[in-house]
Amino acid sequence: MSTAPTPPATPASDLATRVRAAIRDVPDFPKPGILFKDITTVLQDGPLYAEVCRWFADLAKRSGATHLAGIESRGFLFAAPAAAALGLPLALVRKPGKLPYRTRKCSYSLEYGTDCIEMHEDSFPADARVLLADDLLATGGTMSAACSLVRDLGAEVVQVAFVVDLSFLNGRARLPAGVPVEALVRY
Ligand code: AMP
């Protein structure tokens, strides 16, 4: 009896390998001791960038998202093309003072001090199912605050998605329980 053939690598794992190879490590940026994962080198490879945006769009489709939201600023690079490809609405999670209309805010703690993000209060209708996108999960503070903000606006977070998860920082533990989390590349 013949054994089953080894399945080919899934497109997602193949994509992950290529994205991992494309990401540039920049030591000591923005301050000593931080190894910055620079995704501009992914953007420089047009076909690869397009595939990463399709990966976000596929996730949004599979999760039944009705809306996408991107976190300033590198989250915009992936949320916006994915939303446009699906013809779905896009909402922006921004730093304070950038949005012109009435906003809702959420503060969160950093290693030293606090930070704040904002969304327009009319970003979603009440029954919105939202995919939240950012380039990278580190401690999880930013995405956790974004989830709180989306929920505060009455919408449901059905998926959070990242290009990179620095899993040694255990950012997933800070995210709300029960929300599906996907990342293309984990370190
Ligand atoms: P955090 O709130 O700690 O999960 O940080 C996530 C945010 O900070 C994301 O928007 C990232 O763009 C940025 N970030 C944090 N650490 C890094 C890193 N090592 N390389 C690149 N971006 C980072």
Q: Would you say residue 86 lies in a domain?
A: yes
Long-range contacts of 109-113 (CB under 8 A, 24+ apart): 109/141, 110/141, 111/139
Cα(137) to centroid(ligand 1), Å: 6
Closest CA to 78 of 58, 60, 52, 59: 52
pLDDT at 8 over 90: no
pLDDT at 1 over 70: no
Task: Count structural domains, the chain.
Answer: 1
pLDDT recorded at residue 12? 75
For residues 13-30, average pLDDT:
96
CA-based radius of gyration for the chain: 17
pLDDT at 187 over 90: yes
115-153 residue pLDDT tens: 999 999 999 998 999 999 999 999 999 999 999 999 999
Q: Would you say residue 119 lies in a domain?
A: yes
Which residues span the domain enclosing 145?
11-186
Q: Pocket of ligand 1, candidates 24, 38, 136: which has the most ligand atoms within 8 Å of its Cβ, to mutate?
A: 136
Q: Would you say residue 85 lies in a domain?
A: yes
Residue nearest to atom 18 of ligand 1 (CA): 36
Q: Would you say residue 175 lies in a domain?
A: yes
pLDDT recorded at residue 182? 98
Tell whether ligand 1 has an atom less than 6 A from the beta carbon of residue 79. no
pLDDT recorded at residue 126? 87
CA-CA-CA-CA dihedral for 162, 168, 27, 112, to nearest 10: 90
Q: How far is the C-alpha of 163 from the C-alpha of 20, rounded, in Å?
A: 9
Question: What confidence category does residue 113 fall into, taking pLDDT thresholds of 50, 70 and 90?
Answer: confident
CATH (domain of 56): 3.40.50.2020
pLDDT recorded at residue 112? 75
Q: How far is the C-alpha of 38 from the C-alpha of 52, rounded, in Å?
A: 15
Q: Would you say residue 21 lies in a domain?
A: yes
Q: Would you say residue 55 lies in a domain?
A: yes
pLDDT at 5 over 60: no
50-90 residue pLDDT tens: 999 999 999 999 999 999 999 999 999 999 999 999 999 99
pLDDT at 3 over 60: no
Q: Would you say residue 74 lies in a domain?
A: yes
- Those residues whose C-beta lies under 8 Å from the C-beta of residue 118, and which sit 6 or more positions away, are 93, 94, 95, 96, 97, 98, 99, 103, 104, 105, 106, 149
pLDDT recorded at residue 9? 46
- For 49, the token pair is 């960038």
Tell whether ligand 1 has an atom less than 6 A from the beta carbon of residue 171. yes
Q: How far is the C-alpha of 55 from the C-alpha of 88, rounded, in Å?
A: 15
Tell whether ligand 1 has an atom less than 6 A from the beta carbon of residue 183. no
Strand pairing report for 24-27 and 103-109: unpaired
Q: Would you say residue 1 lies in a domain?
A: no
For residues 84-103, average pLDDT:
98
pLDDT recorded at residue 7? 47
